[in-house]
Chain A
Amino acid sequence: MTGRILVAGASLGGLRAAEQLRAAGWTGAVTVVGDEPHMPYNRPPLSKEVLAGKAPFASLAFTPRSAAQDVEWRLGTKVVSAGLAERTVALDDGSTVSYDGLVVATGVRPRRLRCPGPLTGRHTVRTLADAQRLRDELTRPGARVVVVGAGFIGCEVAATAVGLGVAEVTVVDPLPLPMVGPLGALLARALLRRHEERGVRFALGVGVTGFEGEDRVTGVRLADGAVLPADVVVESVGSVANVEWLEGNGLDLSDGVLTDELLRVGGRPEAIAVGDVARFPNARYDGVPRRVEHWSIPTDTAKHAAKSLVAHLSGSEQELTPFAPLPTFWSDQHEFRLQSFGAPVLGLDDVRVLDGDPEGDVLVGYHLDGRLTGVVALGGHAVATSAARYRAQLLKQPALTS
């Protein structure tokens, strides 16, 4: 096999794609282009053990498989545009690269708040550099911290900040409970109580309207007129997919890049998307295309999509099955862990306690039309083990198509 597969994005998705192309038998060239200066590294610890100083930044680096040793890495280099019809990409060093196959793995970046006020002192957590800067500020004596956005990353950062001994941490969100969108009210209430017991404060049901301060932020102004004093602000208000470089190709880029059930882009068998940037239908569920920002997805998508790309490039008439992963994610906050299997979000209207109770360790089941769509365990080992039992059941279930 000759030719070149170009991978845009050098993080987990790009790494797994390169490895899986080799595993699927591709012997041609593989070039990975990434705008960060680092080899691929693991992001989840950036809001957890690495931010807490319990693990060194150096521990984040992935170890690429030996089969991917001959992959060419062009780091610190950005893909600025692509011509899918011509099969070329343009890089910010002025060069143009032609490809036979393209992997879109450019992930997402944090969404920023647009309200007025100074920028200095305001942080996001996506990259190694972000986490290093934030850690420096959180470890200054007496730091007062406001986290905007009570999703998983915001709540993890708040928990880590408390663990670091900051003076105070307040989490602000216009919704009435933390993490309520993905988890529902039952678990969200249990999580709120656990955070409050450990010293995290909340300002819920109220949005942010601006930031106080001249050169750097000194406070966060809320819609009800209150001002929370702040030395450090963390914005964790969702993400924006990195798809600008794909514009001009007639693709649906409304939220990430739309793919078909084989993770192909724009109906082109030589272009696939993996990881956070891919908006794909899951044949296990309703077939509605969604972006899924779980750590397991870059690996799952890369495995599936690499097979279809290599099959196409090698001209094999292999029968390809639609992508149907079982989603899974975890989150660590204080000393407790959340572990999810399946799609809780599809069963938010029928939430039942399957084991334990919300005051302690609890296993919660999410249902649609009486059928289990997902489970989430909150707490320690015993409840995680019972979640694992339901995982097998979720895997066996026939597709949830209506």
Chain B
Amino acid sequence: MKVVVDMNKCQDHGQCVFAAPDVFSMDDDGHLAYVPDPADALRDEVEEAADVCPLQAIRIED
């Protein structure tokens, strides 16, 4: 599974980090970091993260 975050949209809300901590994290400056090619087993988590992102910045490409 491929995950793309539109960093022009992302405003570092961090909601995705709560939903999918294995894929999304905040670096020391409070900016989003993420795994672009997570295992398929994490699909539910990543879909949840995409749902809860207030800026709708997360796209899942199958």
Contacts and interface: CB of A to CB of B under 8 A. Distances in A.
A associates with B: yes
Interface of A: 16, 42, 44-45, 55, 59, 62-63, 65-66, 295-296, 299, 328, 330, 332, 339, 380-382, 384-385, 388, 391
A14 to B, nearest CB: 14
Contacts of B18: 388, 391
B56 A62 contact: yes
Main secondary structure of the interface of A (DSSP, over half): helix
28 contacts: A16-B51, A42-B54, A42-B56, A55-B9, A59-B9, A62-B56, A63-B56, A63-B59, A65-B47, A66-B62, A296-B52, A299-B51, A299-B52, A328-B15, A330-B54, A332-B11, A339-B13, A381-B12, A381-B29, A381-B30, A382-B30, A384-B14, A384-B30, A385-B26, A385-B30, A388-B17, A388-B18, A391-B18
A299 B47 CA distance: 12
Among B11, B12, B52, B56, the most chain A Cβ lie within 10 Å of the Cβ of B56
A328 B53 CA distance: 12
Contacts of A330: 13, 54
A200 B29 CA distance: 30
Contacts of A42: 54, 56
A329 to B, nearest CB: 9
A384 B52 CA distance: 17
Contacts of B59: 63
- Interface magnitude class on chain B: 10 to 19
B14 A388 contact: yes
A340 to B, nearest CB: 12
A381 B54 CA distance: 16
A55 B62 CA distance: 27
A339 B15 CA distance: 11
Given A330-B54, A388-B14, 13 more contacts: A42-B54, A42-B56, A59-B9, A62-B56, A65-B47, A296-B52, A299-B51, A332-B11, A380-B30, A381-B29, A381-B30, A382-B30, A385-B26
A55 B15 CA distance: 20
A327 B2 CA distance: 30
Interface in B15-62: 15, 17-18, 26, 29-30, 47, 51-52, 54-56, 59, 62
A66 B54 CA distance: 20
Nearest to B6: A59
Contacts of B30: 380-382, 384-385
B12 A295 contact: no
A52 to B, nearest CB: 13
A63 B61 CA distance: 12
A328 B56 CA distance: 16
B62 A44 contact: no
A65 B52 CA distance: 13
5 nearest A-B residue pairs (beta carbon) = A381-B30, A299-B51, A42-B56, A62-B56, A295-B54
A86 B10 CA distance: 46
A62 B59 CA distance: 11
B21 to A, nearest CB: 11
A382 B28 CA distance: 9
A387 B59 CA distance: 26
Nearest to A300: B52
Contacts of B14: 384, 388
